[in-house]
Structure 1
Amino acid sequence: MEHTEMTVGDLIDQLSAFDRSIPLRLAMNPFFPMAHRLEQVVQATDETGQPIVYLAEGRDPEAQLGHLPPEVAVALTWHSPVQAPPRRQRRTARGQ
């Protein structure tokens, strides 16, 4: 299966659908999803000599914002939707 990477153009196209004043976050680690505040965009060269752009969180200790909201992890298909277990009928003090 061929893996295709998102390009800068793909990212710009997708971001152009949103209000420019909305904060941007980075969702990381599908098995323990966390949200991070983005601070930098850096262009570099990968090991094959190709240009590449990195999005990076800041060095601020509060750059990691905490757990990713469950609905975001579900939308990313990192987690499956979870439903509460069915409720059992409660017994009374007399055991009925």
Structure 2
Amino acid sequence: MKLDADSLSDALVRLRRAQGQLGGVIQMIEDERDCKDVIAQLAAVSRALDRAGFKIIATGLEKCLQEGADSEQAELDRAQLEKLFMSLA
């Protein structure tokens, strides 16, 4: 299943934010910042990635519902999305 960039704009914003946060984590390590500060920022990056992943899956599910629940391809897409969802959980 392909999803267009417009429908994933929220996920892209989250991913760009996570990219910036990850750069911050790298800089913190290079600057020898305190371990607890590095871990707190790394946890924020992880949450941002999780939220982006869930947004992508939710968008895919919406697309499946719009395309019709009875089609064989929609059933396959839903099964794939379920596996992806479980990989994030």
**TM-score (norm. length: structure 2):** 0.24
More strand by share: 1
**TM-score (norm. length: structure 1):** 0.22
More helix by share: 2
